[in-house]
């Protein structure tokens, strides 16, 4: 086995899957193909979303493959960079919003409902005890969805996809509402979420190369 766990050469090992699990491989490939077909979202938009999600899954194979696919579909490096900054901001937001559980854990009278919109009222506690950091986060979050090479609407669609990848209910709620206010349709959001599902699945698929390699050492 190579000392480099993430060598592009590793991907060739995935060819063995056609013998190890042929039915599952066939269905995975068909699922992936269906998701990335041109639809309400363009192929380019879907690949930009995919690049954003690969930075959630942190799969180097997926980052490489989808960045190249996005470039082939016409995405610029500026567009991809803006998309990944959306990922960064939403992941920060997930941490910020989940801090409300710390407040609830210390409050004996807090509701037993772990995920309630009312929890967000407790975000003021974080701003109170870490004001400079909280202010910095707010400015960063605002900048991440500001129109640039990508529109605010598309950035909020990306944010919904990322929120589903990080499985943060607060983020899903906030960014879905933001996306709808920007004019995003149910079809666009659904297609973005399917890209998320495919890319998350793809990360496990790609890492089977490492599993096979380790097993066959």
Q: Quote the pTM value.
A: 0.91
Long-range contact pairs involving 125-128 (C-beta distance under 8 Å, separation at least 24): 125/99, 125/100, 126/96, 126/99
Domains and CATH numbers, the chain: 39-215 (1.20.1290.10)
Place of tokens 């990335």: 36
Tens of pLDDT along the chain (217 residues)?
455 778 888 999 999 999 999 999 999 999 999 999 999 999 999 999 999 999 999 999 999 999 999 999 999 999 999 999 999 999 999 988 877 777 766 666 655 666 677 777 777 777 788 889 989 999 999 999 999 999 999 999 999 999 999 999 999 999 999 999 999 999 999 999 999 999 999 999 999 999 999 999 8
Number of Cβ within a 10 Å radius of residue 206: 20
């Amino acid at each position: 086995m190579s000392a480099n766990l993430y060598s592009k050469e590793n991907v060739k090992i995935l060819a063995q899957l056609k013998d190890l699990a042929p039915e599952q491989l066939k269905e995975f490939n068909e699922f992936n193909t269906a998701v990335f077909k041109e639809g309400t979202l363009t192929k380019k938009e879907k690949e930009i979303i995919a690049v954003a999600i690969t930075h959630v899954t942190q799969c180097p194979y997926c980052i490489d493959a989808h960045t190249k696919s996005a470039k082939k579909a016409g995405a610029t490096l500026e567009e991809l960079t803006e998309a990944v900054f959306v990922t960064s901001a939403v992941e920060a937001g997930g941490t910020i919003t989940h801090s409300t559980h710390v407040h609830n854990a210390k409050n004996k009278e807090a509701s037993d409902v772990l995920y309630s919109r009312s929890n967000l009222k407790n975000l003021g506690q974080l701003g109170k005890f870490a004001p400079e950091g909280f202010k910095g986060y707010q400015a960063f979050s605002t900048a991440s969805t500001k129109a640039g090479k990508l529109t605010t609407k598309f950035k909020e669609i990306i944010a919904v996809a990322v929120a589903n990848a990080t499985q943060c209910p607060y983020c899903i709620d906030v960014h879905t509402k933001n996306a709808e206010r920007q004019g995003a349709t149910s079809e666009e959001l659904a297609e973005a979420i399917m890209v998320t599902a495919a890319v998350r699945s793809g990360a496990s698929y790609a890492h089977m190369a490492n599993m096979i390699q380790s097993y066959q050492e």
